[in-house]
Structure 1
Amino acid sequence: MIFQTGAALLECCVLAVLDREDTYGYVLTQRVKGVLQISESTLYPVLRRLQKEASLSTYDRAFQGRNRRYYSITPQGREKLQQYRTEWEAYKNRIDDILLRGLCGDE
């Protein structure tokens, strides 16, 4: 993808994945990588930031003798996701206006 991935877009995608179900880091990375070119090293600081902001919580679950850290969206995270979705819709519409319809903001 030639477009830059900003922090807000990455946060939005992480929250959207977790809004469907709790999951652990590897699966979360794979799902986000399905739409954005990111690495695990890019994702984990985002997860820590969202957790620090109380948008995510974590819990551990045993798997084959090891613990997996699962991430879960919180009510605050759902509010933040809704704000992102609202902003994304407005942004997408403005971009569609110029790319698809050739309109400018003052028309």
Structure 2
Amino acid sequence: MADAASMREQAEALAVGALAFVASDAELLPRFLAITGIEASSIRRAAAEPGFLAGVLQFILAHEPTLMRFCEETGTPPAAVGKALHALPLGNQDDYERST
């Protein structure tokens, strides 16, 4: 069984891939920026903040067609995205709900 650090590294890698997916899409990127309130020029800085990568996965998970397209393009099982979310800082749904 993978240890917590390994699971987190895998989750971070998946989330970075999801961020690249969002950033490369002319329709998704503006929506992501509008929802998060982040300016395009600040994404790199924001990516270092705790919870940012979990937010990327929450964005992907919130819209099933986006999730399915991401999974198809990356060969990622949809369930793996949810598992990755929970392995990331602030990826616990309870934490997310308290922060909104």
Q: State if a TM-score over 0.5 links the two structures.
A: no
Q: Which has the larger helix fraction?
A: 2
Whose strand proportion is higher, 1 or 2? 1
Query: What TM-score does the superposition give when structure 2 sets the normalisation length?
Result: 0.34
Give the alignment's TM-score, normalised by structure 1. 0.33
Compare relative contact order (CA 8 Å, sep 6+) and give the higher one, 1 or 2.
2
